[in-house]
Amino acid sequence: MTILTVGVVGAGQMGNGIAHVFALSGYDVLLNDVAPESLDRALGMIGKNLDRQLHRGKISAEERAAALGRIRTTLTIADLGQTDLIIEAATERETVKQAIFDSLLPHLKPETILATNTSSISITRLASRTDRPEKFIGVHFMNPVPVMQLVELIRGIATGEETYRTLLGVIERLGKTPASAEDFPAFIVNRILIPMINEAVYTLYEGVGNVQSIDMAMKLGANHPMGPLELADFIGLDTCLAIMNVLYDGLADTKYRPCPLLTKYVEAGWLGRKTGRGFYDYRGETPVPTR
């Protein structure tokens, strides 16, 4: 299977990063979202991130211009049907992802590969709702996409060997490193990372330490580049909670029970950096712990 054109569904933080790295690697990209302002924001963010790479000497001015020239946008999801590979990068809710694939199916070429950037949801289950489970695969990029080296590649039970091999080649062309994972809840990275974050929230909830001491302890005591609560704010507390619920529901083990404090923050709409408040308040010049 030869991949030349790539459709990306969702122009948020992950979607615009995915479009960025594919365009920079020579693929023609069609970026879709339901909101025109999201597409405008995405193009602005891609331009800024390419500028950052240019100023650091990682790309040339010609490469920057060529990458931007390879990205087109559309509000009509049917337009993606003629691309060779479609990557869904919408919010981490299974009903949303299913609706996206349902709307794509009538418009697809027979050879089009479908992929999802889900960080936790069953690839097998999502694939079973389509007409091509053998051409369906999980391709989980890390955030921020232009910077992070790893991509998890997850085969569902029906994913064909040719589909898997094709995506291995695509990831290598992007200059990234694939890690193959089995299709179990949250795969590898989030199976390990998100319960650690949840345990940090329990440590806060139980009064063992405050936000600042917990993050400092893990940065200086375990040599982590970011503290777990700071990282949770960066990921989005709603995403962390969604992944914990997938683990709890999918593995039926009480060790994956989401911390009630994490649930409370999400109920308050304090989702982290993207809303201005989470475990830190970002509305001033310097982030301030909220507990």
Catalytic positions, written as ranges: 119, 140, 152, 190
- Identify the CA nearest to 246 among candidates 140, 89, 93: 93
Between the CA of residue 27 and those of 67, 231, 265, what are the distances in Å?
A: 9, 31, 40
- How far apart are the C-alpha atoms of 178 and 169, rounded to whole Å? 9
Q: Would you list which residues are annotated within the binding site for NAD(+)?
A: 10-15, 33, 92, 97, 119, 143, 274
C-beta separation of 114 from 130 below 8 A: yes
C-beta separation of 88 from 97 below 8 A: yes
